[in-house]
Amino acid sequence: MSFIKQTALSIGFDACGIAKAERLDEDAMFLRSWLDEGKNGDMHYLERNFEKRVDPRELVPGCKSIVVVLMNYFPQEKQNPQAPKIAKYAYSETDYHLIIKSKLKLFEQKIIDFYGVDCISTGNQHIFVDSAPVLERRWAERAGLGWIGKHTQLIHPGLGSYVFIGLIMLNIELEYDTPIKNRCGSCTRCMDTCPTQALKNSTIDANRCISYLTIESKNEIPEVFHDKLSSCSYGCDICADICPWNKKWAKPNEHVELSPNKKMLQWDYETWLNLSEANFNETFRNSAMKRAGFQKLKQSVKIVAAIENKKQQ
């Protein structure tokens, strides 16, 4: 095992792969078509920095290699079933961006100590965690860490799709990993199970996606989707939960940093409905839950609580 991969595992990542930096021509064509069809909803930031998004060498001058790491976030504990559902990635008390970035900075320093300072592009950002114009899942696939399933998520053989992805872009040539075969076959469970039919032909329409509707969208959730939210108030795991590969491979993570917010997991519908903004800010001050904001979350909670109440009448 190479120095880089050994170091990644020693720091606490669950998998590591390396891909050659080059333009993603097929992804560029797909992304342009996807954006032209308006499937990004009001996530207009996806329309910016197009060339940087499809060519890492435009983002980081001199980039030759992309080191990709994965971190399992499948939780050890389950949420109260009598409550609005929260996506599993947001269970932890600390925002995963902060956790992954901290580990990547340590990782990067060890790489610099080993290869020399010239291995990075001075003056440029070269650490990425879901917050820059980078196609993380594609690079993870290119680095041999899995394949992109029909639910559009990376599926790692051994971890499943409940993984965070981090990248370091380096200005040195390395030994590159070989992508593995897509193993979804004829299975369409994720697409068939999506209550809003957001998944079709192995792609996603954000305008219909529950995660988008409850987090990213700046607008109120359209009434046509209210009874299709399936109790989801912050994100959605439906397509991942139904995936046979997750049923086989997803195992509780062993990362102390990702310890769940135990208080939140115990809340029921009444607690969520009575949640004040001050309590929200205090409970989720370092959490990924703050991304949607208090008002957006309360809107989703009220909708799913009302639907649940109707079912019980």
Catalytic annotation, residues: 130
Strands 203-204 and 65-72 come out as unpaired
Q: Name the phi and psi angles at 267, rounded to 5.
A: -60, 145
Q: SS3 of 142, please?
A: helix
Ramachandran region, residue 51 (left: φ > 0; alpha: ψ -120 to 50; beta: rest) = alpha
Q: In Å, what is the CA distance from 188 to each residue of 71, 194, 202, 210, 244?
A: 26, 10, 9, 18, 10
Q: In Å, what is the CA distance from 130 to each residue of 97, 133, 137?
A: 8, 8, 10
Q: How far apart are CA 161 and CA 158, in angstroms?
A: 9
Tokens (6 digits) for 302: 């009220």
Q: Is the dihedral of CA 24, 27, 29, 35 positive or negative?
A: negative
Torsion of CA 238, 239, 241, 245, to 10 degrees: 180
Radius of gyration of the chain (CA): 20
- Burial, 181: exposed, middle or buried (Cβ in 10 Å; 0-12, 13-18, 19+)? exposed
- Answer yes or no: are the C-beta atoms of 288 and 97 closer than 8 Å: yes
